Amino acid sequence: MEREERLFFCRKCKNRQFDPNQGIVCNLTHKRADFEKECGHYILDEAVVAMEEKAVEEGRMVREISVSEEVLERLRLHQSVGYALLGGCVAMLVSAALWAIISVALNFQIGYMAIGVGLLVGFTVRYFGIGLELKFGIIGGVFAFLGCLLGNFFSYVGISAGQLQQSFFSVLQLVDWEVAKSMMIETFSVIDVLFYGIAIYEGFRFSFVPVTQELVGELGSGENSELPLRYKLRLPLAMASLVLVVLLGVFF
């Protein structure tokens, strides 16, 4: 039995799972199906059947995607750890700055801003890295964690600058790093652990590019595989982001 024939059953099985490196796999074995005539673990997913029936009634095509090795290879051609690191770094700095700006405006340290940091970092790493592999999730998780630390630190500096009626960077230059470290440890609470954990999870989870039918359809084939237009903007967006970060450092 060929893989396409097995996928006919796997797509409708409750035990299905999507693996970015293998496509649809069994949730019990975490491997591709290898049965010949029938699968002993097959459980029909009524929700999928109902969706298909509804689609037929409405005259629509059911949008399903079978991820073959060829498709995955075409997607891997465009993965970039360098772009992922660049995007994660910029997102970390921007999200930390936004955290500080909001905290200074309210004159209050806002712990749940960490959730926004995780989202921004995760989606940015996804866009720039176009990653399918574990290392992209790790990049997103690490930058999300660093973004939370910087957000907290920038907030304390910003609030102190407001109280001293000085600029942010003038206070930053006077920071005693040992004192700052002690202050952040002392003010760290149990709820912060929760928010940081959510941020790290988001940074990891959302750093992988979703393999959709639209994305596969927009890609070329084989060696002629080309990026969709939106991903070709990675370089100019990265350059513009770096310029923005430099300008913020110069003027603020």
Query: What's the pLDDT tens digit per position in 145-186?
Result: 999 988 888 877 777 777 777 766 666 667 766 766 776 776
* Joined tokens for residue 44: 């029909």
**To which residue do tokens 């910029």 refer?**
90
- Give the domain-ending residue among 67, 82, 107: 67
Indicate whether 127 pLDDT > 60: yes
For the ranges 111-120, 161-170, 229-238, the maximum mean pLDDT occurs at: 111-120
Domain shared by 79 and 189, yes or no: yes
Q: pLDDT exceeding 70 applies to what percent of the chain?
A: 71
Domain shared by 116 and 230, yes or no: yes
Range of the domain at 136: 73-251
The mean pLDDT of 114-132, rounded to a whole number, is 91
135 CB-near residues (< 8 Å, 6+ apart):
81
Domain shared by 48 and 11, yes or no: yes
Domain shared by 165 and 53, yes or no: no
The mean pLDDT of 94-101, rounded to a whole number, is 86
Query: What's the pLDDT tens digit per position in 182-199?
Result: 767 766 777 888 898 999
146 CB-near residues (< 8 Å, 6+ apart):
92
- Give the domain-ending residue among 44, 67, 90: 67
Domain shared by 154 and 237, yes or no: yes
Query: What's the pLDDT tens digit per position in 2-31?
Result: 776 777 778 788 888 877 667 788 888 888
**To which residue do tokens 């084989």 refer?**
222
Domain shared by 133 and 233, yes or no: yes
Indicate whether 59 pLDDT > 70: no
Burial of 207 by CB count in 10 Å (0-12 exposed, 13-18 middle, 19+ buried)?
buried
Q: Three-state SS for 16?
A: strand
Contact present, 101 and 154 (Cβ < 8 Å): no
- Taking phi over 0 as left and psi of -120 to 50 as alpha, with beta for the rest, 147 belongs to alpha
Indicate whether 225 pLDDT > 90: no
Domain shared by 82 and 181, yes or no: yes
- Give the domain-ending residue among 37, 67, 97: 67
Neighbours of 93 (CB within 10 A): 21
Indicate whether 51 pLDDT > 70: no
* Pick from 24-28, 57-61, 98-102, 105-109: least confident: 57-61
64 — pLDDT class (breaks 50, 70, 90): very low
Q: What are the angstrom distances between the C-alpha of 121 and each of 143, 148, 156, 177, 208?
A: 7, 11, 22, 26, 12
The mean pLDDT of 52-69, rounded to a whole number, is 50
85 — pLDDT class (breaks 50, 70, 90): very high
Indicate whether 224 pLDDT > 70: no
Indicate whether 79 pLDDT > 70: yes
Domain shared by 87 and 166, yes or no: yes
Give the bridge partners for 18, in sequence order.
24
228 — pLDDT class (breaks 50, 70, 90): low
Which contiguous run of DSSP H or E holds residue 129? helix 113-129
More confident residue, 128 or 160: 128
Burial of 118 by CB count in 10 Å (0-12 exposed, 13-18 middle, 19+ buried)?
buried
> For the chain, what is the mean pLDDT?
77
Domain shared by 218 and 239, yes or no: yes
Q: Report the greatest alpha carbon distance in the chain.
A: 76
Domain shared by 217 and 158, yes or no: yes
Domain shared by 208 and 167, yes or no: yes
Q: pLDDT exceeding 90 applies to what percent of the chain?
A: 17
Distance CA 124, CA 84 (A): 8
- Residue 193: the pLDDT is 85
Domain count of the fold of the chain: 2
What's the pTM?
0.64
Domain shared by 125 and 195, yes or no: yes
- Residue 70: the pLDDT is 63
